Amino acid sequence: MHGTPRRTTLLWAALLVATLLTWWVGEDGATGPAIVALLAVISIVKGSIIILDFMALRHAPLMWRLITLGWISLVWVLIGLAYWKGLSQ
């Protein structure tokens, strides 16, 4: 139900590496639609690990995966739309 310790440790290491990447992008000062898309993808991948593996929704009825994965995707679509709106001003 909650996976093996080895798998969990590998996922944790991947989450930390992804965090380092997000931080590095911030320090580098890079910007633009491609960078925002990259940050969105990193956040969605990290969120999916939390949702599917840490919250163990991989083993939950489909509806719960649709709601939670749909939530994180929708939030990033809204952030992307707002970013695009800001660019065109």
Partner 1 sequence: MLRDTTCPESRLVALRFPRLMGMNTRSLASPLPARHPVTEYRLAGDLAIWFFILAELLAFGVFFAAYAFTRANHIELFNAEQHALHRGAGAINTALLLTASYFVVRAVQAAERSAAAISARWLLGAIACGGGFVVVKLIEYSAAFEEGVSLSSSPFHMFYLSLTFFHFMHVILGMVILAALWQGARKGRYHPGDMNGIETGAAYWHMVDLVWLILFPLVYVIH
Determine contact, residues 43/32, Cβ cutoff 8 Å. no
| CB 62 to partner 1: min, Å | 5
| CB 52 to partner 1: min, Å | 11
In this structure, how many other beta carbons lie within 10 angstroms of the beta carbon of residue 66?
Answer: 11
Binding site for partner 1 (CB under 8 A): 1-5, 8-9, 11-12, 15-16, 19-20, 22-23, 25-27, 31, 35-36, 39-40, 42-43, 46-47, 50-51, 53-57, 59-64, 67-68, 71-72, 74-76, 78-79, 81-83, 85-86, 89
Distance from C-alpha of 89 to C-alpha of 86, rounded to nearest angstrom: 5
| CB 7 to partner 1: min, Å | 10
Nearest to 54 by CA among 43, 62, 46, 63: 46
